[in-house]
Amino acid sequence: MKHIPTTLLVTGAAGFIGSNFVHYWLSQYPGESIVALDALTYAGNRANLTSVENNPAFTFVHGDIIDTPLITQLLKDEQINTIVHFAAESHVDRSIHGPDAFLKTNIEGTHSLLKAAKTIWLDTGVKKHRFHHVSTDEVYGTLSPDEPAFTEQHQYLPNSPYAASKASSDHIVRSYHHTYGLNTTISNCSNNYGSYQFPEKLIPLIIANILDGKALPIYGDGKQIRDWLYVDDHNRGIDLIIRKGRVDNTYNIGGDNEWTNIDIVKRTCGLLDDRFEASEKMAARFPKAPQNSGKKAESLITYVDDRLGHDRRYAINASKISTELGYEPLESFETGIRKTIDWYLANEEWWRRIMDGSYREWILQNYCD
């Protein structure tokens, strides 16, 4: 497949999926330029980009997507022709306790980017451009156990303030194509897991809590279902959409990999038990882990109050991206979760500094001018 050179603005590049995208893109297309923009909220971590900091094709800008003049200037000065928009407030639990930031960043922030893109690309006649908006399957709401998985035609029925803010941003993106002719695409992806995921989300939280001997909180009955996808497989899907996807189209991305929360927690527990059995070094490194007192990780499972408005099931039908663009996930859940556990074991300082609250200071000292 012929690759047309791009100069990318990647928003939210210091977050979980955005930083993995930057690593993926620079290794896939060496020499192509990326301007990484991030406001470095609690979820943004400059340390996620350490390995590319000295790459001449990479520039980091500390800034907010809501700052339309900054974005406009960046698009112009850096001659950017592609925006890959990850920046968002992304955690459902936080959206329940404080929805304002979600509406501001996810809706107004997305609109700010669209306004800048319109000014620089449409008003000055830049024909070859793309605005790719990264969204979520949560915009479709919840499924009952026997309902077919979400297709791109599924009605939008968002239930949490997070999902509603993402749904709103999807509609605004779409309107900028229909009204002004901006070349937009949208992807709606299922739950991701992998390296650099902030340990407030289920899988990294479970890994870190097992290693520290802390409770593994299971909301409600733990039988809610999510469709899990390894982060690089999400980013390969975005890459295909940017290169081959049809403008004004939405593509669902998913792994056909549905798990109940309790099963995913138990599988992660089992894999960590195996690590303790396989190596004595684990006990020395993680003295508080239950395996050191002859217990299994599962002994830490603790049922807690359910999340308000908790969606029961998400499942993605990814046949459109697969038939049209040849998409297929490369990782099975077994290979992906093992890689993820390896990464958290190899990067203990990264998550420990987040868990103990000292990471901001660490980033300022080591990663910021």
For position 257 contacting ligand NAD by CB under 6 A, the verdict is: no
Q: For residues 92 and 163, is the Cβ–Cβ distance under 8 A?
A: yes
Q: What Rg value do the Cα atoms of the chain yield, rounded?
A: 20
Binding mask 233-262 toward ligand TYD (x if CB under 6 A, else -) reads ----------------------------x-
24, 140, 162, 196: which is the annotated catalytic residue? Answer: 162
Residue 134 binding ligand NAD, by CB under 6 A? yes
138 is catalytic: yes
* 25, 240 Cβ separation under 8 angstroms: no
Measured from each CB, the residue nearest to ligand NAD is 15
CA distance 279 to 62: 41
Residue 132 interacting with ligand NAD (CB under 6 A):
no
Q: Quick one: 154 or 226, whose CB is closer to ligand TYD?
A: 226
233 touches ligand NAD by CB under 6 A: no
Q: How far is CA 137 from CA 30, 42, 143, 269, 301, in A?
A: 31, 24, 11, 27, 27
For residue 162, indicate whether it is catalytic. yes
Q: Which one of the listed residues 38, 64, 89, 137 is annotated catalytic?
A: 137
Collect all residues with Cβ–Cβ distance below 8 Å to 10 and sequence separation of at least 6: 18, 21, 22, 25, 34, 35, 36, 37, 84, 86
Q: How far is the CB of 51 from ligand NAD (least distance, A)?
A: 16
* Catalytic (active site) residue 303: no
Task: Compose the 47-86 pattern: x for residues touching ligand NAD by CB under 6 A, - for all others.
Answer: -----------------xxx-------------------x
Using CB under 6 A as the binding rule, the residues of this chain from 171 to 210 that contact ligand NAD are 189, 191-192, 198
Choices 19-27, 52-60, 76-84, 218-226 (CB under 6 A): range interacting with ligand TYD: 218-226
Binding site for ligand NAD (CB under 6 A): 11-12, 14-18, 37-41, 43-44, 64-66, 86-88, 90, 105, 109, 134, 136, 166, 189, 191-192, 198
